[in-house]
Amino acid sequence: MKKPMLVVSTLLILLFTTVTYAVNEKKETVKERSKEMVTKLGADVVLSDSQRVALETAAVTYFTMRDSAENQSTTLDEIVKKKDAYAVYQTLLDSLLTNEQKEQLQEKNKERDESQSSHSVKVQ
């Protein structure tokens, strides 16, 4: 008799914790996420003021498209819409950065990838 009560109690606590976390979870606004994205990019590449403004606008478009993709009827539709959003952002990013900035960004991304792969455990 004690075992079923323990299981039910544990499940109720887990349910309560999950619901509480979901209610308290604060989702950043599109503008906040966009600003953060451009700030992180600016840490890797020196951006002019005009580039920063244009990239923030592009990031707003990207996050708006991603958020609307989450309301799609199927998971496949959602994935397609998110890929489309990324493609639009990537095209704008490529058009706004100079060749030198693109090279710097590629180098930073390569360093980041190498750093992450050296910390990961390889399973064979």
Cα distance between residue 34 and residue 7, in whole Å: 44
Predicted confidence (pLDDT) per residue in 90-104, tens digit: 999 999 999 999 999
pLDDT score recorded for residue 23: 47
Cα distance between residue 103 and residue 45, in whole Å: 9
Q: Which of 99, 93, 26, 22 is nearest to 61 (CA)?
A: 93
pLDDT band at 71 (very low <50, low <70, confident <90, very high): confident
pLDDT score recorded for residue 92: 93
